[in-house]
Structure 1
Amino acid sequence: MKVELSSLEARLIGCLIEKQITTPDQYPLSLNALVAACNQKSNRDPVMDLDETTVQNTLDQLARKHLVVEKSGFGSRVPKYQHRFCNTEFGTLKLTPQELALVCELLVRGAQTPGELRARASRMASFSDVDQVEATLESLRTRDDGPFVVQLPREPGRRDSRYAHLFSGPVAVPPPRAEPPADTASGTAEV
């Protein structure tokens, strides 16, 4: 399954997955709840300020791609939306709970290290240690129907490489930043 999502589509799908897992009693989501989920100040990068029209237009685009469906309960006057991105009877993409938690975090927060992903995705799926996160990322990177994630080059000053999702196409890797040479005598870099 090759899916190409815009950044807004990725945010909406990520929010729908997150709320399905973390607040199943409120899922599917109304338009108002989805706008609030997309605009959350915590657990999002970048923080967005989307209006209802933008979210509705993006939902319409996702519906045309068969990735979102409107679900209304009997007697409900408010339309609600659920994803068909993965793990549904209508789609071919099947993810384990751990894979789904990592994909969700990458969709709503962008590129992250395995340690960051373990801490943040633990509210959606259990990871015993960072090694299990790395193994799950490797599974997503090497799947026959993928790859779904990419390991980015380690940035200067960072201990670990970050991972990014590929559901919005190839990731542009910024050129490495040159670290200024340190002056060994004084311990400061020359300017």
Structure 2
Amino acid sequence: MRTTKQWWAETKSDPEKLNHWLRRQYVGEMAAVNLLSELLITYGSQATDEEWHDVHKVMCQEATHAKWMKRVMDARGVRPEEGASAERRYWNEVKPAVKSFAEGCAAGYHAEHMRLERIREIANDTDPTVADLANVFQNILPHEEWHEEVFGKMAAGRSLTEYHERGLQSLNLLMA
């Protein structure tokens, strides 16, 4: 297991790893749109109008993040992966536990909480070789902080901690 700080130091110092991560980050942002769409299709009838609107807003922001990642990739000469899959190790562990809108929001909360640690690490990086990424992640950060907050409220006390822990293990990630 490794910390976010260790992961980022290893990733940014290896061009092949960084380019792979950029491609997966782009796919991950688009996958978030799909996962949230699936949540609304499957359990949207359990959501209030405000909750439905909030999930839709998160979807739109995630799509914007994907667009920003695509721009970074374009500027760095990194092409998106052909035939990329949105299948994610983390979600393979967590998704089967989701049986309601609130549980879907609990899963969203855990995922956003996990991502915030990485986002903050990248946003605060002063290394000039990743200044473009730091800038993008400084713009992403307030959105993701709001996502964590709103999913936490909509989770209505539900917790999927056991499944979240399995997801972290599948990523070989240790939260600081």
Structure with bigger RCO (C-alpha 8 Å, 6+ apart):
2
How does the TM-score come out when normalised to structure 2?
Answer: 0.29
Structure-1-length-normalised TM-score: 0.28
- From the CA coordinates, give the structure whose radius of gyration is larger: 1
